[in-house]
Structure 1
């Protein structure tokens, strides 16, 4: 039995802009994991089983008279896509395929099955890719795992930046810029998977960051789950009508995140906190022009309380629920802040940053 795990993630800054080329974001991997165990099947029939997802709900839309199921929130779609692409890669390495059982177990949801917004679809994709590569004895570095996982995830989701994939693969704090999606689609249609993976991907940048000493990350959960893929669809639909505002948002987000990266590189917590507040304001404006709810009242409450006790706070990820993050320092009264959160139905999540031990 082989077991591989991948951590969940949180966005710190650069959400929505990260979907475009040359727009960096900062993410962090947290010590909550999806574990995938794989073992040779003894019956000749393979099994894919998940403790969490046996009663999964499925979303659907009407297209004309057709009922169309939205599988992007169904974790099995990501597992199947990860299996398909990873096995295709193994076939190209002349590996004989066999039948196996996969067991998935996740910390990334609350005990009653609600999602925290930690990128469970990305983590389950990464853990599946890692488990299958190991099962077939393929020597894999982080770049191979990232690229196979990004292709598998994008195949199902059809949008997104794959920043959550990068956080799940590389761990720790990272600065991330997405790859050129049109380039990838063209390459996949015209080349072998191995050739695509061995190419340099235009635009892709993944850089590990070291947080300043004394900086503390706090996470509060709104107890309201959100759907990233649907929010991204809504904003994508508006891009053509908001050309100037959108370009302005991208350039301001880029400048903000670059300053924040500078704060990591110069050990400057105050600069990071200042840019967290700038990024919050940018996202609020972005939500307004797109008529979407990013900072729902519960998240506004989370942020207001954090600011009162000396933390710099904002929504994390697509918003509309899920988590808010706080960058705190030695002067932040963490205990009182968390107490105040609890009084307002905001759940402090006691997660740590997860560092990955490097394989080369």
Structure 2
């Protein structure tokens, strides 16, 4: 049996802006995983088996008189897309397709089925791609795994930045600049998959970061799951109606993330905290102007408690529920934050940063080196 795993993720800053081509965000990979195991089937029927997803439900809505199923929150859609894309890639290496059983196990949701917003769709896509690449003995690098998983994920979701896919592939702390997805969709129609994977992708940039030694990351969960896809759809309406204000938000977010990356380079926790606070302000203003409830009451309380103990806090991801993050000095009495969260029914997720490589160094990825001349 072949087994591969991919970590979950959280956004630290840059949400919403990162869905636009070339705009940056900072993410972190966490030590909770989706595991994919593959073994050759003993008969002519293969299975996809998941303890977590056996009772998964589909969401649907009305579009005029039609019932439209939203597959973007259904993990099986991502698994099937990852299989289609990876097997298409395998055929380009003259691999004979086989029948197999694929087992999925996820730590990213709780035993009772609670969704924490840790990027389970990205992680299950990456884990499936990695396992199939080993199963078919494909010569792939991290960059190629990222591109295969990004294509598979994008073909299901249709929006989003794919930063969560990058975090699941590269691990640790990363600065991620989103690539041109419209270009990808167009090229996908005309180019064979192997050529598309080998090409440099416009605007793509991925940089591994090293956090200051005194940075302690705290994660709080508000108890309310949120749909990233649907929230991004709503912000798209604001973008169409208020283009000037939306562009101002994008530029301010870009400058904020650039300063925060400098904070990582300088190992300056205070600089990182200042930009986390500024990014929270930008997102709060975006929510107010767009009518999208990004920072809920529970997330507001989570942040205010952390700020009372000198932690820099904000929503993580699309908001509307799910998690908030806090950057705080590990030498401070940050346990007071956790006690206050518990008293206010905010659940701490005791997770740590997961590094794919054993050595925690600041590394330029092959993707970044390859595209360095484009920036």
TM-score by length of 2: 0.95
Give the 5 Å matches for 1:76-225: 76-225=76-225
Query: How far, CA to CA, are the matches of 2:96 and 2:114 in structure 1?
Result: 39
User: Cα–Cα, structure 1 residues 330 and 2, in superposed 2: closer, same or farther, change >3 Å?
Assistant: closer
Matched residue, 1:28: 28
Q: Is the 8 A contact 1:260 1:271 kept in 2?
A: yes
Where 2:295 maps in the other structure, the secondary structure is: coil
Extract unaligned runs of 5+ from structure 2: 359-364, 367-375
Q: Secondary structure of the equivalent of 1:121?
A: helix
Offset at residue 331 of structure 1 (A): 4.9
Once the two structures are TM-superposed, the CA of residue 62 in structure 1 deviates from its matched residue by 1.0
- Match runs of 1:322-337 below 5 Å: 322-337=322-337
Residue 306 of structure 2 aligns with which residue? 306
2:325 corresponds to 1:319: no
CA distance in 2, matches of 1:197, 1:289: 39
Q: Is the 8 A contact 2:21 2:181 kept in 1?
A: no
Q: In 1, Cα distance between the equivalents of 2:193 and 2:3?
A: 25
- Alpha-carbon deviations, 1:208-251, whole Å to 9, x = none? 00001111111001111100000011111221211000000000
Checking the alignment, whether the CA contact within 8 Å between 1:311 and 1:332 is kept in structure 2 is no
Match of residue 286 from structure 2: 286
| Unmatched runs of 5 consecutive residues or more in structure 1 | none
SS of 1:239's equivalent in the other structure is helix
Which 4+ residue blocks in structure 1 deviate beyond 6 angstroms?
A: none
Q: Give me the whole-angstrom Cα distance separating, in 2, the residues matched to 1:340 and 1:57.
A: 35
1:65 equivalent in structure 2: 65
Alpha-carbon distance in structure 2 between the residues aligned to 1:170 and 1:113: 27
Aligned to 1:49: 49
Q: Give the distance between the partners of 2:67 and 2:48, measured in 1 at CA.
A: 26
* Cα distance in 2, alignment partners of residues 135 and 237 from structure 1: 43
Q: Please give the secondary structure, in 1, of the residue aligned with 2:324.
A: strand
Aligned length: 360
What RMSD, in angstroms, separates the aligned Cα atoms of the two structures? 1.1
Q: Deviations over 1:56-97 (max 9, x none)?
A: 121001122221110100000000000000000000111100
